[in-house]
């Protein structure tokens, strides 16, 4: 296995593990927050986020990827001075965008609260506004370190963000709740701003500590220094389509929020029931689906600099190898997460949301059954988009995602209004959305990297390993039943069986097993059990 492959797999592993931990902390953060500020407070809290997310995506989604790509290209060309100059210019640009976004949210808070028809949100918009500045600035540091294939700091900063919410946002929410709903929600949102500041300080510290190592990188002689304007132009050209792509899904989410309840009302359901159905989908199902998406985000963040570096060197062999590695990991992650979450939908809902009525739990579980299908689709879309972005073809995933969102909105309009389908039209439209985006993405990845799609390695073997896991999970459910302890044991069983299955089926080459969490121990155990013989060194072909 090459050094680049090890870097990709190692980066995916640490980002995946830390990302899932961060997502889980985020889910469990909502439970005490709900108890502190109540259902109405959570509603006020949630109403702030669509605008916040949209502004955050506009100001910071594309430039960090551009920084990561350009830094990796400069380093591949033995121009670390150019990489550092790119970071410094991007840092100033992102800080300016962050401050601008912060001011828009602060001074536009009255207008924004009127747009969501809830005056209680005004304080929330003001409280979370500083985090726009913090996150934008931090994104430059993340991009610089990711471009150097250092994924750990990004992963750890995500955990800091979520843990900080528990220890900072919850106390502030409790303090504010004593004065009313608006203050309770604003307290939680102010805590988010404070925590993002802490995460930014951490990233600044890590970057500064890594500079002695960076200064030892070889600098090619007679490398011209690029003008500031040229660097900004490069950043913008790369960032615009990525930013637009990142804004498409939040924008579609805002349309969903406005459309779904209205279409349910048109279908004949009353307002409280329609709100409840939408709340189950957006407040319970989507956060659960977002947990395994941490894995897809890990793949995408790792792929961009690796693909960019290989492309900059003109190394077609490494480019094809990295493309295959990225796609393989997308399917290795997507298939088991989708099947596992689908099979355990009811037990997981019961474990986490036992306070909800039985009917609400059943509805949420059924929504989760359908939504779980989107995991493999979304994971593949993320991976292929990153490959295309690394190749400088960032407009392609933007166009395919726009096509997918158009399909999603159209299907939502016609499906949700059907009383027999109602809220279930939302996850069905998401399945169609990511399918429409995924298929052409794969085609263009194969075309521009001149890589052959290995159906056996990428699809058949991961599906076989997933089916083995599914059989073990089904047997475990029949044997030990459900319940909190049983569900936790079933999740552990599924993970262990799947890790073993991908080795036995050859879905993951044995030379990569040791890079997995506890991979070396798993390999030793399987050797003792004589499930396979000791792996020989594998070819890089």
Contact 431, 370 (CB under 8 A): yes
10, burial (CB in 10 Å: exposed 0-12, middle 13-18, buried 19+)? middle
Contact 241, 385 (CB under 8 A): no
CA distance 396 to 315: 22
SS3 content of the chain, % helix, strand, coil (to 5): 85, 0, 15
Q: Break the chain into its structural domains and give their ranges.
A: 15-216, 241-453, 460-533
Q: 308 is written with which tokens?
A: 């960019």
What pLDDT does residue 24 have?
Answer: 74
CA distance 158 to 111: 31
What pLDDT does residue 540 have?
Answer: 43
SS (H, E, C) 248-266: HHHHHHHHHHHHHHHHHHH
Q: 541 is written with which tokens?
A: 């072909």
- First-to-final CA distance of the chain: 9
- Return the CA Rg of the chain: 23
Max distance between CA atoms of the chain, in angstroms, equals: 72
Contact 324, 307 (CB under 8 A): no
Q: 198 is written with which tokens?
A: 């802490």
Helices vs strands, H then E, count in the chain: 22, 0
In this structure, the dihedral spanned by the alpha carbons of residues 372, 377, 383 and 388, taken in order and rounded to 10 degrees, is: -150
What pLDDT does residue 138 have?
Answer: 93
DSSP 8-state secondary structure symbol assigned to residue 507: S
CA distances from 201 to 32, 83, 125, 141, 455 (A): 27, 21, 23, 10, 45
DSSP 8-state secondary structure symbol assigned to residue 316: H
Dihedral sign, CA of 512, 518, 520, 526? negative
DSSP 8-state secondary structure symbol assigned to residue 508: S
Residues 6+ apart with CB under 8 A from 137: 91, 94, 95, 98, 200
What pLDDT does residue 516 have?
Answer: 56
What pLDDT does residue 304 have?
Answer: 67
123, burial (CB in 10 Å: exposed 0-12, middle 13-18, buried 19+)? buried
Contact 277, 263 (CB under 8 A): no
CA distance 206 to 140: 13
What pLDDT does residue 116 have?
Answer: 67
SS (H, E, C) 458-489: HHHHHHHHHHHHHHHHHHHHHHHCCCHHHHHH
CA distance 320 to 448: 10
Residues 6+ apart with CB under 8 A from 425: 263, 411, 412, 414, 415, 416, 418
What pLDDT does residue 467 have?
Answer: 97
What pLDDT does residue 358 have?
Answer: 87
DSSP 8-state secondary structure symbol assigned to residue 424: G
Residue-wise pLDDT tens for the chain (541 aa)? 555 555 555 555 566 566 667 777 776 787 788 778 876 677 678 778 777 877 777 776 678 878 888 898 888 888 999 999 999 999 999 999 899 999 999 999 999 888 766 788 899 999 999 999 999 999 899 989 988 878 788 888 888 988 888 899 999 999 998 888 789 989 999 999 999 999 999 999 999 999 999 988 888 887 788 888 888 888 888 888 777 766 776 666 667 766 787 888 888 888 778 867 877 887 788 888 877 776 666 665 666 677 777 777 788 888 888 888 888 888 988 999 999 999 999 999 988 888 778 888 899 899 999 999 999 998 899 889 888 888 888 889 889 988 998 999 899 899 999 999 998 999 999 999 999 999 999 999 999 988 889 899 899 999 999 999 999 999 999 998 878 899 999 999 998 899 889 888 888 776 665 555 555 565 666 566 555 554 444 444 4
521, burial (CB in 10 Å: exposed 0-12, middle 13-18, buried 19+)? exposed
CA distance 487 to 484: 5
Rounded to an integer, what is the distance from CA 338 to the centroid of its chain? 15
CA distance 119 to 101: 21
Closest CA to 444 of 393, 390, 380: 393
């Amino acid at each position: 296995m090459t050094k680049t492959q090890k870097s990709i797999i190692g980066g995916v592993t640490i980002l995946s593990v830390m990302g899932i931990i961060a997502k889980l902390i985020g889910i469990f953060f909502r439970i005490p927050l709900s108890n502190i500020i109540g259902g109405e407070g959570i509603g006020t809290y949630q109403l702030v986020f669509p605008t916040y997310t949209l502004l955050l995506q506009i100001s910071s989604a594309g430039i960090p990827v551009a920084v990561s790509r350009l830094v990796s290209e400069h380093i591949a060309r033995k121009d670390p001075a150019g990489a550092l100059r790119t970071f410094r210019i991007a840092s100033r640009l992102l800080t300016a965008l962050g401050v601008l976004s912060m001011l828009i949210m602060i001074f536009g808070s009255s207008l924004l609260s009127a747009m969501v028809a809830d005056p209680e949100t005004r304080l929330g918009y003001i409280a979370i506004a500083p985090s726009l500045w913090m996150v934008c600035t931090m994104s430059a540091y993340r991009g610089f370190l990711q471009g150097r294939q250092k994924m750990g700091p990004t992963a750890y900063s995500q955990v800091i963000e979520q843990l900080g919410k528990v220890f900072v946002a919850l106390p502030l929410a409790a303090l504010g709740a004593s004065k009313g709903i608006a203050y309770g929600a604003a307290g939680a949102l102010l805590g988010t701003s404070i925590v993002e500041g802490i995460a930014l300080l951490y990233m600044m510290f890590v970057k500064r500590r890594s500079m002695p190592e960076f200064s030892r990188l070889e600098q090619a002689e007679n490398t011209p220094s690029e003008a500031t304007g040229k660097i900004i132009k490069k950043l913008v050209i790369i960032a615009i389509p990525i930013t637009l792509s990142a804004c498409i899904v939040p924008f579609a989410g805002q349309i969903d929020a406005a459309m779904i309840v209205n279409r349910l009302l048109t279908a004949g359901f009353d307002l409280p029931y329609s709100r409840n159905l939408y709340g189950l989908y957006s407040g319970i199902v989507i956060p659960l689906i977002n947990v395994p998406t941490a894995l897809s985000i890990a793949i995408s963040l790792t792929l961009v600099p690796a693909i960019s570096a290989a492309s900059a060197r003109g190394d077609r062999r490494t480019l094809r190898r990295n493309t295959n590695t990225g796609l393989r990991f997308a399917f290795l992650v997507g298939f088991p997460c989708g099947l596992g979450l689908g099979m355990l939908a009811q037990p997981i809902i019961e474990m986490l949301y036992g306070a909800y009525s039985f009917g609400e739990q059943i509805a949420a579980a059924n929504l989760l059954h359908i939504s779980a299908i989107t995991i493999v689709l979304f994971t593949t879309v993320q991976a292929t988009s990153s490959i295309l972005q690394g190749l400088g073809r960032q407009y392609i995933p933007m166009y395919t995602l726009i096509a997918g969102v158009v399909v999603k909105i159209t299907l939502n309009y016609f499906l949700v209004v059907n009383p027999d389908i109602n809220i279930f039209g939302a996850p069905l439209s998401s399945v169609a959305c990511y399918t429409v985006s995924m298929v052409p993405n794969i085609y263009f990845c194969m075309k521009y990297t001149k890589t052959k799609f290995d159906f056996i390695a990428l699809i058949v073997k991961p599906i076989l390993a997933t089916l083995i896991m599914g059989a073990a999970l089904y047997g475990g459910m029949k044997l030990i039943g459900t319940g909190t302890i049983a569900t936790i044991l079933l999740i552990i069983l599924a993970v262990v069986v799947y890790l073993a299955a991908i080795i036995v089926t050859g879905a993951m080459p044995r030379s990569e097993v040791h890079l997995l969490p506890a991979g070396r121990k798993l390999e030793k155990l399987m050797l003792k059990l004589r499930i396979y013989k000791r792996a020989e060194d594998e070819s890089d072909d």
